[in-house]
Amino acid sequence: MKNSFDEKILNEANDWKNAKQKVVLATVIQTWGSSPRAVGSRMIVNENGDFSGSVSGGCVETAVVRECVNLIKEKKLFKKIEFKVSNESAWEIGLACGGEIAIFLEEIK
Amino acid sequence: MKQELLKEIIKKKENKVEFAIITNLENGESCIFEKKKPVDKNFEKHIEKINFYFDKKKNGIIEETNIFIETYIRPIKVIIVGAVHIAQYLVDFAKSLNFEISIIDPRGYFASEQRFPGIKIINKWPKEAFKEISTNSQTALIALTHDPKIDDPALQYAIKNKFFYIGALGSKKTHENRCKRLKEANIKDEDIKKIFGPIGIKLGGRSAPEIALSIISQLVSEVYKK
């Protein structure tokens, strides 16, 4: 059996939009190897870089926030980004767990 | 994604409809997919594959396409018998876990809206109360009153309707007596054995939130066994 463990991110996205914020929705669309969050996991980011939800276990969120804010600045509607395992120091953006993920960013209009 | 679509998705979730969000990753267009309803023109070409993923409740990029599908299934129903202190904590856990809760308790002073805001409360005896809830093999029962008058009929109903999880609060002794009563009521041994009693996994704590945690942990682990 499966349960729909809904994290209410979409509800929150709607609240943010109603509060006249610009909102980008980030969704995990593909994973390879051991990645902390399943396909369909979500986070939202506004133009100030405030965020809610998660797409990894904290490994790539900072970079995702940056990408989302850039998406708003550049007035793009959507973008696909990927993160691979980092060979550099632990401070480098990347998944320490050795996984890879692809994330789809889209602004809510 | 347009905010209108977002609002529609939220509404469908609230109404517990099974649907999927499909997104074309090449042009960013997305729409709602529902079984047996016409699909947006942009996705018509891949309708067979979309249906296949939808039936399997799979999330992901559909093979050989640029379509991402996310399926939404109905939440699992959990019926709590006994609007007791433990139930108040169970409701909190169940909310974050997205279970759909109904509470049955014929005792009005327990089952009040004030104690359980926003939860479906049925202020009737189990036999009558079950007429108001549709149940199936994906429903769970948590019996908390340890009063045979209230718990037993609910347990019998859950057994007959093949609920995937049936648990009953009470000590080993209470549970032994319960099993005896169910046997006398002609419930099969194999069915009686399926009842989790004493309910919950062993955590050690005895406070209401700790017992609620032990029950909800057992329930979640059973979800993935079925």
Give the mean pLDDT of A84-98: 57
pLDDT digits (tens, 9 = 90+) for A28-69: 999 988 777 889 999 999 999 999 999 988 878 899 999 999
Task: List chain A residues with CB under 8 Å of B60.
Answer: 29-30, 39
Q: Please say whether the beta carbons of B147 and B174 come within 8 A.
A: no
Q: What is the pLDDT of residue A94?
A: 60
ipTM of this complex: 0.87
The type of residue at B18 is: E
Query: Which of B2, B23, B223 has its CB closest to that of A104?
Result: B23
Question: How confident is residue B36, by pLDDT bands cut at 50, 70 and 90?
Answer: confident
Q: What's B77-225's CATH class?
A: alpha beta
What is chain A's length? 109
pLDDT digits (tens, 9 = 90+) for B151-163: 999 999 999 999 9
Decide if A3 and B98 are in contact by the 8 Å CB cutoff.
yes
Give the best residue of B15, B68, B164 to mutate against chain A (max A CB count within 10 A): B68
Flag whether residue A55 sits within 8 Å of chain B, measured between CB atoms: no
Q: Please say whether the beta carbons of B67 and B43 come within 8 A.
A: yes
Looking at the complex, report in whole angstroms how far the Cα of residue A44 sits from the nearest Cα belonging to chain B: 13
pLDDT at A79 over 80: yes
Residues above pLDDT 90, as percent of chain B: 83
Q: Please say whether the beta carbons of B105 and B81 come within 8 A.
A: yes
Rama region for A9: left / alpha / beta (φ>0; ψ in -120 to 50; rest): alpha
Question: How confident is residue B108, by pLDDT bands cut at 50, 70 and 90?
Answer: confident
Token reading at B145:
């009153």
- Chain A residue with the nearest C-alpha to that of B98: A5
Q: How far apart are CA B172 and CA B149, in angstroms?
A: 19
Q: How far apart are CA B212 and CA B93, in angstroms?
A: 8
Full strand arrangement of the beta sheet holding A78-83: A51-53, A42-46, A23-32, A100-108, A78-83
Looking at the complex, report in whole angstroms how far the Cα of residue B215 sits from the nearest Cα belonging to chain A: 17
Output the CA–CA distances (angstroms, integers) from residue B22 to B5, B93, B159, B165, B174, in the order listed. Answer: 11, 30, 39, 33, 51
Domain boundaries, chain B: 8-72, 77-225
Q: Is the N-terminal amide bond of B148 cis, ω within 30° of 0? A: no
Q: How far apart are CA B40 and CA A72, in angstroms?
A: 27
Q: Which residues contact A80 (CB under 8 A, 6 or more apart)?
A: A29, A102, A103, A104, A105, B25
Decide if B68 and A27 are in contact by the 8 Å CB cutoff.
yes
Give the best residue of A2, A3, A21 to mutate against chain B (max B CB count within 10 A): A3
Flag whether residue B114 sits within 8 Å of chain A, measured between CB atoms: no
Question: How confident is residue B69, by pLDDT bands cut at 50, 70 and 90?
Answer: very high
Output the CA–CA distances (angstroms, integers) from residue A98 to A35, A73, A101, B60, in the order listed. Answer: 7, 31, 10, 20
Flag whether residue B226 sits within 8 Å of chain A, measured between CB atoms: yes
Residue with the bigger pLDDT between A60 and A23: it is A23
pLDDT digits (tens, 9 = 90+) for B42-51: 899 999 999 9
What is the residue-averaged pLDDT of chain A? 87
Decide if B3 and A14 are in contact by the 8 Å CB cutoff.
yes
Task: List chain A residues with CB under 8 Å of B73.
Answer: 2-4
Give the mean pLDDT of B139-159: 97
pLDDT digits (tens, 9 = 90+) for B209-218: 999 999 999 9
Q: What is the pLDDT of residue B105?
A: 96
Q: What is the pLDDT of residue B187?
A: 96
Flag whether residue B32 sits within 8 Å of chain A, measured between CB atoms: no
Q: How far apart are the first and last CA of chain B?
A: 35
Q: What angle do CA B175, B120, A42 make, to 5 degrees?
A: 100
